[in-house]
Structure 1
Amino acid sequence: MSDAGAGSTPLGRGLITVSVMLATVMQTLDTTIANVALPHMQGSMSATQDQIAWVLTSYIVVAAIMTPPTGVLAARLGRKRLFLIAVAGFTVASMLCGAAASLSEIVLFRMLQGAFGAALVPLSQSILLDTYPREKHGGAMAIWGIGVMIGPILGPTLGGYLTEYYNWRWVFYINLPFGILALLGIFAFVPATPKDSSRRFDLFGFALLSLAIGALQMMLDRGESQDWFSSPEIVIEAVLAGLFLYMFIVQMYTARNPFIEPGLFRDRNFTVGLLLIFVVGIVLLATLALLPPFLQNLIGFPVLTTGYVLAPRGFGTMVAMMLVGRLIGRVDPRLMILLGIGLTALSLAEMSRFTIDVPVHLIVWTGIIQGFGLGFIFVPLTTTAFTTLEQRYRTEGTAMFSLMRNIGSSIGISIVFTLLSQNTQANHAGFAALMTPFRDAMLYPFTPRAWNWHTTEGVMALNGEVTRQAATIAFLGDFTLMMWVMLGAAPLLLLMRRPEITRKRSVAATTTAATD
């Protein structure tokens, strides 16, 4: 396929873009849309908290494992055929999830969702990169980035609405119209690519990487409940994850036909881009995982209100990506990434000063700023990472890009919730040691009567308030940690080269201006 892409006319490119973006939004929406419906599923399936969590983790584990084979499967089957199979399978699996009658059924069907959905995001990205010429990659990635970023952000809002007014099953049924339209559009407008039957599938390498990802995900999922490395199970899973990853790297550099081409990592911009998208994954989903319990459990927002308060974050992302699409050929993308990192860190700094009486407008404003910042990171980062990458590595590269974002999200969520639990306990113990009936503060006239030391109800009320304050401080500690993680990623920009296409356009613009 030529670099100019398959869509030779603006109309053709637009139809291809709409078709692949329907599939992208459908898949990314499902990463968070089921979160708010979990309590309703738990009651319907008579499941425990640990059991119902598998509805989320089964999807994440299988999607992570099945993302890297996308490049090989696209070469063997043809990219268009693989895309059609993935969209059809994901849509059917969604319907099966909605119709599930037991916990084992819904976990099985969520695994099928993850298996088919894993290829959707990297395939859509590689198709758009090939559809548009290099000088328009920034605009194409802005459109693609909206789908990738808006899906997880709007997922809780849409999921809360569907669960509140309809049924949790509609969280999955909503995929049917998206899937049908995406199938029709891909079949009609997306051009076929030649199949490479000579491309060998490294089954041993795939098995090693799958075992490494599976062991890592199991360690992250069960670490908190098993008290982390004090549990032999977690130690074994950590050792297996490290061992299988090491064996995979050795296999990758020594095999004749490796599962992932080592040439991918010779491109400096792409390699640094993987590290930065890992950080973006941590902040994006970890923040979205922390805010709902903070708003619902501590502040007392209903599910729908929580969804509405989080929705403006997506508005900030869309505005940023539209601006980036216009600036990407004129401004050094590394400067835009730096601006995005700064805005995201600023929003997290503001969130680290939240109290249980925080006004709604401040929550909304910090969300808009954070969405704006993430929008300024995602598109320039994607463009910079792939502009210098050889075209033959694109499908494989987009799969690795998605994998690193997903692993970053998994690790980030695991770390922040572990720290949340540990710090809440530590803060509670510290506050409780200060709560004695002999303290002057407990004798003041304005001390609530409900905190009466001489009644069981009073002690319980006081303990509840102590727990609430301890949890609040723990949440703020998590927001502070993510702020420093974001700022710590900024020096990586020094390792990235400015894309040649941007530099050439800047020089051309300067020459034209001088001539005029």
Structure 2
Amino acid sequence: MSTPLPSVAAPRGHHALTVAALMATYVQAVNISIPNAALPHIQASLSMANDEVGWVFSSYIAASAVTMSITQWLAGRYGRKVVYQYAVMIFVVGLALNTVAMTSIQFVLARILQGLASGPLAPLSLAILLEVTTPPRHARVSLAWTVCSLLGISSGPAIGGWLSEYYGWPSIFYFSLPMAGFVFLTIARQLSEKRAERSQTFDFFGLTTFSVGMIGLQMLLDRGERLEWFASTEIWVEAIASVVGFYLFVVHVMTRKEHFLRTALFKDRNLVLSTVISFALGFVLLPTLALTSPMLEELLNYPVDTTGYMTIPRGIALVGALVLTSLVPAQVDYRPFLIGGMTLVVYANWLMLGYSPAMDWRPVVEAGLLQGAGIGMLLPALARAAFGTLDPKLRPEGSALINLSRLYGSTIGIAVVQLFFYANTQAVHIALAKNLTPYRVAAYMGGSIGKPELAALNGMVTRQAATVAVIDQFDILMFAMLVVIPLVFFLRKPRPAG
């Protein structure tokens, strides 16, 4: 007769800490997308140019990726409680600075500060959740953590659209203040301090060179069109910084045994392939929101709050598919779920290519619902693929690598679609307007036409060109997911159940 294992009691105050950790996860995620539907109000208030809109998202995400990389070192060096509290305080300062920003540069700087503070919140929240719950509940609490993160990203546009329409765009940042206050007080009262007995070393040179390479590439893509590419000294500086940063990082990785991304991670085929797929997933996840809301608001004249509401089915389908797929037994092969999720995402983006100025809300909701279901199916299957063959000792770093790839995929994706959007808008405008002259227009209209009428016609052509350019960007997102589908066939089979 077997002896039952002794139960492990949860620490005191674990209920409050669980709520606080999940709330912090939600808050840092919802602030990624909450400005999405409110962008017309923010642009009008801050005189923000159209090609600066992508910075609202990419600045937050890129800054978050940098501090997320050093979270483990910070917690070991200074203590997780101290790091967590300072992160929440700086996050609140970023929220306040967003509301008082008077220019687009001030707003972007505040978003960068927010992003820097948000980086440690998600990984430390998960670590706290796993500590305050008993081992049999770890799978369930990890799922709850993932759901809160995705729910934050999915619900952000609806909340931001409604608040900005009725209470002004600064209210979208006031929304997070009460929750941040609750998290700070709960952590201060309930969480015990924990830090490493020995100071851990961290590869700051590797992180710095990699970050310089990524930031240089990001700025190059964001600013290139406005500054006429290599006719500008700034673009040359950013290009050189990116090339030198990536070069030094590659040399550093090849010549040192230990760095902030351990070489052992890249010896696991499943993890490497899953990282590439995760990058493609990030490339699709947030750029879709960054394209859809401006299209609905500026080109199809939907109210800001209605635009936000139209993202709700996508979020519901995403969370629902995530939960259902996570409940599938571990013995079931995950690869059909990967292929099924990718197929749904590709099909949804193919439906988006059929958008037109004459459509109603149904095609947008249908495509969003299918894309959300595909992403929700893909995420848990991708986690099983990445960690099913990975050494358990490497799983924390593997998780960080997967998250970083998804974050950088989103930032690069936003930059790429913005870049091609403005280039395509100009090309389509030239193609449509080349015959728009006073004499030819007057001939077709059966009378003379003046400059005001011609300007109105030019506005119509510009709107049509922008609509065509937006729809063309969904083709890029579809291709990004389509090209990684064959990688699924190179993943190793799941290990048989023990």
| Interval containing the TM-score (normalised by the shorter chain) | 0.7 to 0.9
Shift of 1:371: 0.8
Shift of 1:476: 2.1
Asked if 1:467 corresponds to 2:462, the answer is yes
Asked if 1:477 corresponds to 2:472, the answer is yes
Q: Matched residues in 1 for 2:483 and 2:207: separation?
A: 32
State how 1:213-292 maps to structure 2 within 5 Å: 213-255=214-256, 257-292=258-293
Asked if 1:301 corresponds to 2:302, the answer is yes
Q: Matched residues in 2 for 1:483 and 1:186: separation?
A: 42
Q: Structure 2 counterpart of 1:316, which letter?
A: A
- Partners of 1:126 and 1:395 within 8 A in 2: no
Shift of 1:399: 2.9
Shift of 1:113: 1.6
Q: Matched residues in 1 for 2:170 and 2:136: separation?
A: 43
- Partners of 1:139 and 1:328 within 8 A in 2: no
Match in the other structure for 1:455:
450
- Partners of 2:36 and 2:293 within 8 A in 1: no
Q: Structure 2 counterpart of 1:493, which letter?
A: V
Q: Secondary structure at the match of 1:67?
A: helix
Shift of 1:282: 0.8
Shift of 1:148: 2.6
Shift of 1:52: 7.8
Match in the other structure for 1:396:
397
- Partners of 2:37 and 2:294 within 8 A in 1: no
Work out which of the residue numbers 478, 487, 490 in structure 1 matches 2:485: 490
Match in the other structure for 2:316:
315
Q: Structure 2 counterpart of 1:403, which letter?
A: L
TM-score by length of 2: 0.86
CA spacing shift, 1:251–1:91, aligned 2, 3 Å: same
Match in the other structure for 1:120:
121
Match in the other structure for 1:512:
none
Q: Matched residues in 1 for 2:109 and 2:418: separation?
A: 26
Deviations 1:109-154 (A, max 9, x none): 4332221111223334455567789997765554333223232232
Match in the other structure for 1:332:
333
Deviations 1:357-404 (A, max 9, x none): 112122111111111111111222124323443444344333332221
Deviations 1:217-247 (A, max 9, x none): 2212212212334544324322321221221
Shift of 1:279: 0.6
Q: Matched residues in 2 for 1:339 and 1:132: separation?
A: 33
Q: Matched residues in 1 for 2:192 and 2:9: separation?
A: 11
Match in the other structure for 1:197:
198
Q: Structure 2 counterpart of 1:286, which letter?
A: P
Identify unmatched segments of 5+ residues in structure 1.
444-448, 506-516
Q: Matched residues in 2 for 1:453 and 1:125: separation?
A: 69
CA spacing shift, 1:499–1:457, aligned 2, 3 Å: same
Shift of 1:197: 2.1
Deviations 1:324-353 (A, max 9, x none): 121253532222121111111111111101
Q: Structure 2 counterpart of 1:484, which letter?
A: F
Identify unmatched segments of 5+ residues in structure 2.
none
Q: Structure 2 counterpart of 1:308, which letter?
A: Y
Shift of 1:316: 0.9
Match in the other structure for 1:90:
91
Match in the other structure for 2:27:
26
Q: Secondary structure at the match of 1:469?
A: helix
Q: Secondary structure at the match of 2:367?
A: helix
Match in the other structure for 1:157:
158
State how 1:101-120 maps to structure 2 within 5 Å: 106-120=107-121
Match in the other structure for 2:429:
428
Moved more, 148-157 or 54-63: 54-63
Q: Matched residues in 1 for 2:301 and 2:361: separation?
A: 12
Moved more, 232-241 or 288-297: 232-241
- Partners of 2:314 and 2:369 within 8 A in 1: yes
Q: Matched residues in 2 for 1:190 and 1:386: separation?
A: 29
Q: Secondary structure at the match of 2:32?
A: coil
In the alignment of these two chains, the number of paired residues is: 493
CA spacing shift, 1:369–1:41, aligned 2, 3 Å: closer
Shift of 1:275: 0.9
Q: Structure 2 counterpart of 1:465, which letter?
A: M
Deviations 1:461-489 (A, max 9, x none): 43333333322222222112211221111
Q: Matched residues in 1 for 2:252 and 2:132: separation?
A: 33
Match in the other structure for 2:497:
504
Q: Matched residues in 2 for 1:101 and 1:424: separation?
A: 29
Shift of 1:305: 1.3
Q: Matched residues in 1 for 2:136 and 2:486: separation?
A: 27
Match in the other structure for 1:361:
362
Q: Matched residues in 1 for 2:14 and 2:325: separation?
A: 19
Q: Matched residues in 2 for 1:50 and 1:463: separation?
A: 21
Shift of 1:27: 0.8
Match in the other structure for 1:508:
none
Q: Structure 2 counterpart of 1:342, which letter?
A: T
Match in the other structure for 1:374:
375
Q: Matched residues in 2 for 1:332 and 1:380: separation?
A: 9
- Partners of 2:310 and 2:364 within 8 A in 1: yes
Shift of 1:257: 4.7
CA spacing shift, 1:214–1:314, aligned 2, 3 Å: same
Asked if 1:144 corresponds to 2:151, the answer is no
Q: Structure 2 counterpart of 1:405, which letter?
A: R
Q: Matched residues in 2 for 1:385 and 1:196: separation?
A: 30
Moved more, 389-398 or 154-163: 389-398
Q: Matched residues in 1 for 2:258 and 2:209: separation?
A: 15
- Partners of 1:154 and 1:311 within 8 A in 2: yes
Match in the other structure for 1:514:
none
- Partners of 2:51 and 2:418 within 8 A in 1: no
Q: Matched residues in 2 for 1:481 and 1:69: separation?
A: 32
Q: Structure 2 counterpart of 1:504, which letter?
A: A
Q: Matched residues in 2 for 1:266 and 1:134: separation?
A: 29
CA spacing shift, 1:48–1:363, aligned 2, 3 Å: closer
Q: Structure 2 counterpart of 1:294, which letter?
A: M
Q: Percent identity?
A: 36
Q: Structure 2 counterpart of 1:411, which letter?
A: I
Q: Structure 2 counterpart of 1:123, which letter?
A: L
Q: Structure 2 counterpart of 1:495, which letter?
A: F
Q: Matched residues in 1 for 2:353 and 2:447: separation?
A: 32
- Partners of 2:60 and 2:115 within 8 A in 1: yes
Q: Matched residues in 2 for 1:479 and 1:430: separation?
A: 21
Q: Structure 1 counterpart of 2:202, which letter?
A: F
Q: Structure 1 counterpart of 2:467, which letter?
A: T
Q: CA RMSD in A?
A: 3.6
TM-score by length of 1: 0.83
Q: Matched residues in 1 for 2:361 and 2:324: separation?
A: 27
CA spacing shift, 1:36–1:365, aligned 2, 3 Å: closer
